[in-house]
Structure 1
């Protein structure tokens, strides 16, 4: 193994150990962010919008794994280069390490809830420890030091006595003529480097485990107290006339006629929190302490700016809302759509308390922007909070407190809008501003309005599945949030003819609706399609287009199509 390769191995070992130490501290104290995650998050934020969108289109759900893999490879390459730089100039290598520390600090201080002193000490200590380990390996390998200085030729290996088995005795030797001291042979060099790297990986694993355990314990899974009386909930707060008009509302259990229980493999009407789709720009969910959390409401036209605590929010009249959310990047027939029962406070109530009504809206406060604790933004027209839809600040999901990864402690849920323009998780601020402000995904070439398109999906039959002749249930879900679903049709001949499907009762116009068509199938090859009509009588388009298409709108269109063989 040449000098450059050995130096690279030493640098990589030191870097892994440094990352491991930093991740371990992050695991035991969440005031110190994950350095690696912060760096990756920085790459996401700095990537030009058009390139980011094309990468998402090309990679799909593999975009984050590809980013992480690229970051790991890049970090290892940098470590290898720094170790080789050390062979030529210790001063330049030290300067480069200081530069890395500056980059790491700049990245972590963009993360929410950073505690400054422990974070600085962690990054400085981790880099110092990694550098010392790499330096020690380089010295013991004879690559730096008096005889390892730039330009010094490496002497030939000294002879050692052979062991009875013919192997070289010992794992290190002393060069009496070199002044270099004890040097490792190749096996010992790899053992020491590998040991340092293994220790670093173990620390990474421990840190990740501890961080995950801490996140899972940050909220309880107990059921929300929805039975409190209005008097108890409003205790300690001034009761306004607007609030008195809206009573606390708890929905009855989901009626049985809203579910097609007899049809196997149809997606459940209510999605469990663990199965609810996840699409985030945040690589890790921010951990927010609800005792110190507050929500700011301000901006143009806000007569009474608010700073609401978590208990303030819970003291207001609450609502349970059944609502289907969908991601704009969902392909036709895809799974980035889910339905849940949300608990929260009406957005219109909060705006009213801030002195904002539909009559006070104008060009200056045409847009409502939700801002997350990590700075992510989403915006939609403010008047949608007053048009009758049940837009809420949700703190509950399916009867439990909002899970961390779904936006704990509070998120926005706005029926009828794709998540990229409305579904701000880990909500920290609501700002009213003009329409010229471009939120996160608008800056990355997605369009600004974001109404959810009418869509339908077949769940009970898989692509290219071989089926048995007879009655075959073709079932699934259809959705058009805020408009409802009035009709679903199924075709078995590629759209040449259509058959009306049986519909379960509509749980809410904001939720998806289950359907089934019992198909009398004969042997042959078939093309199944499904088409839904919304509550306003508008049928979904057959035009096939991906999520990020042209024409001034976004979201995939077309019929979900499945080819099957009946034997």
Structure 2
């Protein structure tokens, strides 16, 4: 058999196998798609340093890069299997079986798939073996052989498309529209007009839903309708609660302006955003369940099986304002930000506090259960560290004229920012002008006007919180419990 024919047989067989699995997964649950199950499992077993590298290098495109990388690896292996099968179909058959068994193992491992989910990788295995052996018998790429090759390619495309359509049959957007307005009984104070310096380069104080950062482990956004959603509260409690979406929205909703920060945020990084969240005070729900003595962890689980552990003493602080959030910036939560419900705990990095698509709250202890990232060596409690960032001028940019306005943002949830200082070329620290204070759990914008001579300049920034703690100069990587260090940029004045 010619090399190109053998290679194409391997690629088409794998494509048909993955498409068949995706089609069946559309019926039994999207998470059972072998391609996605293997991808999600790969994320779970990725070392922390590699995950941090992916976020740092590719940002919010890290999942796309993973999927494309998987596709290239699988295609390469498929080509190799085809080339090894030029004289006999046995090597390719073995490869198809191994690929199918990897899919079975990944689906069985995933916490968001049930017993029926294994049907998807089994279908992949059967179709992969059958198509490979059939095409191998077909022979060269001419006459009937060409028609068979085209038939397999077309069938794979149709099966993958049908699987996508079936997987999207859960109409989340219709469910969001049906929720309608989430009118809070207690509204957040209006944002002052001078809460940012957007015209001079800072972000707007409130981050739009479209621009709000997203860092999570979900390869595909879970599709959960509000009508089907429920939240179980159990564990070390006096009474177990099972709450539907309507049970929560009928309560007295509150609106709170909160800045969220990702632990993966490097010094000067973009993973911090602010929104008006509407929801039910988490403290009220936990007190209704009755937290038993000795409990020190709120162990929350997402519909896709991801888990986080929040300190009980923190989420029970009344002034902290932790929420089971249902809405965000005047609308129900967007699907990618946790619809129908998520947790928001001010002052804690998201990996210990911000479970999206939350379906389970267990009151327990840190000794009894370890959440997703704790099992990977991350910090236990995750308090947000004071941090500041320079937004304008951009690093390595050229500024015209000696009058230079430097602007940026600082945060120190839940204490609040007291002052932000800047220094030029290692000189004395100068205090910046702060934008209007909104509350202690939100970021704060700053600006300073400098008169600088022509040439290159390095500016550094540091923030001090209202307890008098100044962010340290020492550079520490984000993992395991948040970055430290002074953000600095170099620019040229002409």
Q: TM-score, normalising length from structure 2?
A: 0.88
Distance apart, 1:530 and its partner CA: 1.4
Which position in structure 1 is the counterpart of 2:314?
A: 384
Alignment of 1:51-130 (within 5 A): 52-59=47-54, 60-62=56-58, 63-80=62-79, 83=82, 97=96, 100-108=99-107, 114=113, 123-125=121-123, 127-130=125-128
Distance apart, 1:219 and its partner CA: 4.0
More displaced stretch, 13-22 vs 342-351: 13-22
Determine whether 1:251 maps to 2:188. Answer: yes
Q: TM-score, normalising length from structure 1?
A: 0.78
Unaligned 5+ runs, structure 1 = 144-170, 173-181, 229-247
The C-alpha deviation readout for 1:243-285, integer Å capped at 9, x for no partner, is xxxxx31124322132335x33211101111111111111112
Contact in 2 for aligned 1:23/1:35 (Cα 8 Å): yes
Which position in structure 2 is the counterpart of 1:555?
A: 482
Distance apart, 1:203 and its partner CA: 5.3
Contact in 1 for aligned 2:388/2:408 (Cα 8 Å): yes
Match for residue 289 of structure 1 among 225, 239, 247: 225
Match for residue 220 of structure 1 among 155, 176, 191: 176
CA distance in structure 2 between the aligned counterparts of 1:122 and 1:438, rounded to whole angstroms: 30
Superposed CA RMSD in Å reads: 3.1
> Are residues 501 and 314 of structure 1, via their aligned partners in 2, closer, same or farther at CA, if it must alter by over 3 Å?
same
CA distance in structure 1 between the aligned counterparts of 2:488 and 2:150, rounded to whole angstroms: 52
Contact in 2 for aligned 1:226/1:250 (Cα 8 Å): no
Which position in structure 1 is the counterpart of 2:5?
A: 6
Determine whether 1:316 maps to 2:251. Answer: yes
**Considering only CA atoms, is the larger Rg found in Structure 1 or Structure 2?**
1
The C-alpha deviation readout for 1:407-449, integer Å capped at 9, x for no partner, is 1111111111011111111111111112213211111111112
Determine whether 1:43 maps to 2:38. Answer: no
Which position in structure 2 is the counterpart of 1:149?
A: none
Contact in 1 for aligned 2:101/2:121 (Cα 8 Å): no
Match for residue 324 of structure 2 among 389, 393, 397: 393
The C-alpha deviation readout for 1:531-559, integer Å capped at 9, x for no partner, is 111121211111122212xxxx6211111
SS at match of 2:197: coil
> Are residues 493 and 361 of structure 1, via their aligned partners in 2, closer, same or farther at CA, if it must alter by over 3 Å?
farther
Distance apart, 1:510 and its partner CA: 0.3
SS at match of 1:435: coil
Determine whether 1:304 maps to 2:236. Answer: no
Alignment of 1:497-512 (within 5 A): 497-512=428-443
Alignment of 1:179-198 (within 5 A): 188=146, 193=149, 196-197=152-153
Which position in structure 2 is the counterpart of 1:421?
A: 352
SS at match of 1:225: coil
Unaligned 5+ runs, structure 2 = none
Distance apart, 1:472 and its partner CA: 2.3
Match for residue 133 of structure 2 among 107, 132, 135: 135
Alignment of 1:13-24 (within 5 A): 13-24=12-23
Determine whether 1:350 maps to 2:277. Answer: no
More displaced stretch, 84-93 vs 5-14: 84-93
Alignment of 1:122-521 (within 5 A): 123-125=121-123, 127-141=125-139, 171-172=142-143, 188=146, 193=149, 196-197=152-153, 200-201=156-157, 204=160, 208=164, 217=173, 219-220=175-176, 225-227=181-183, 248-261=185-198, 263-300=199-236, 302-356=237-291, 360-362=292-294, 365-387=295-317, 388-436=319-367, 437-494=369-426, 496-521=427-452
Distance apart, 1:201 and its partner CA: 4.8
